[in-house]
């Protein structure tokens, strides 16, 4: 089974067995999915922050991360001088909430879902009379594989990969670590989770999430994540 990125792993762990996002976590899911995708684009050099802290293109798209192309294209289209209504990524969530940017989000959602199907980590459920949306059903063994790697790294003495730090940060922020780890494991991983919360990756994720929350005038959401950290 192919090693998944932070964004793919997060998507896989968040979707339930019916291919849905738990209703109370809809907004949190969108925010973290955007933050995870942005982290990947930043770490792979596709985008960077300019002197004003705004996200701009850093290299031409080469399809190295095909499931993130819609996010990359959106960020590029929102660069200063190209779209005066928003400022970089910080307006994407607001656009999604208002329905204007829903196409971008739906494309991102579908692209990540398709990448998981190709990787053998999820099954695709086509539209039907019972569902007007295409759904992606995570395979149980794929989720177990992702969480096994997380568990091994968090409990071990070796270096923790950026993907593991990022995924753990998102699950921790959404209060979903307990869904995948029992009480004894949570206690055993306590120091590992504390290390995650002090890591540069976690702080970068918080920065992006806070920015997105502020941009979308969702201070309560941003505050919830900061408190969780």
Closest CA to 10 of 163, 162, 191: 163
Report whether 124 contacts 136 (CB < 8 A): yes
The pLDDT tens digits for 185-213 are: 777 777 766 776 677 766 776 776 666 55
The pair of three-digit structure tokens given for residue 147, joined into one six-digit string: 């969480």
Angle (nearest 5°) at CA 152 between 224 and 148? 75
pTM reported for the whole predicted model: 0.79
What pLDDT is attached to residue 97? 44
32-36, 88-92, 110-114, 217-221: least confident range: 217-221
Domains of the chain, by residue range, sit at 6-218
Rounded Cα gap, residues 101 and 23, in angstroms: 20
Rounded Cα gap, residues 219 and 79, in angstroms: 24
The pLDDT tens digits for 46-92 are: 988 777 767 778 888 998 999 999 888 877 776 555 543 444 444 45
**Beta-carbon-side half-sphere exposure of residue 114 (alpha carbons within 13 Å):** 11
Place 28 in a pLDDT band, splitting at 50, 70 and 90: confident
What pLDDT is attached to residue 150? 85
Is residue 98 scored above 70 in pLDDT? no
Length of the chain: 229
The pLDDT tens digits for 158-187 are: 777 878 878 887 887 777 887 888 888 777
Rounded Cα gap, residues 142 and 3, in angstroms: 10
Domain 6-218 top-level CATH class: mainly alpha
């Amino acid at each position: 089974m192919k090693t998944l990125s932070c964004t793919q792993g997060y998507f896989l762990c968040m979707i339930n067995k019916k291919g849905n996002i738990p209703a109370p976590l809809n907004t949190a899911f969108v925010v973290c999915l955007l933050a995870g995708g942005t982290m990947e684009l930043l770490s792979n050099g596709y985008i960077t922050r300019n002197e004003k802290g705004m996200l701009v293109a850093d290299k031409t798209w080469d399809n190295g991360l095909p499931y993130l192309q819609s996010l990359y294209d959106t960020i590029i289209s929102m660069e200063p001088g190209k779209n005066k209504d928003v400022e970089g990524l910080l307006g994407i969530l607001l656009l999604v909430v208002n329905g204007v940017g829903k196409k971008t989000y739906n494309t991102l959602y579908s692209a990540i879902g398709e990448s998981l199907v190709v990787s053998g980590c999820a099954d695709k459920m086509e539209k039907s009379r019972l569902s007007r949306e295409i759904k992606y059903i995570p395979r149980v063994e794929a989720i177990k594989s992702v969480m096994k790697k997380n568990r091994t790294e968090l409990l071990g003495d070796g270096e923790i990969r950026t993907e593991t730090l990022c995924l753990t940060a998102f699950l921790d922020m959404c209060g979903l670590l307990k869904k995948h780890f029992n009480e004894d494991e949570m206690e055993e991983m306590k120091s590992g989770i504390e290390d995650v919360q002090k890591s540069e990756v976690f702080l970068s994720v918080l920065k992006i999430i806070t920015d997105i929350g502020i941009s979308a005038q969702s201070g309560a959401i941003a505050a919830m994540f900061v408190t969780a950290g």
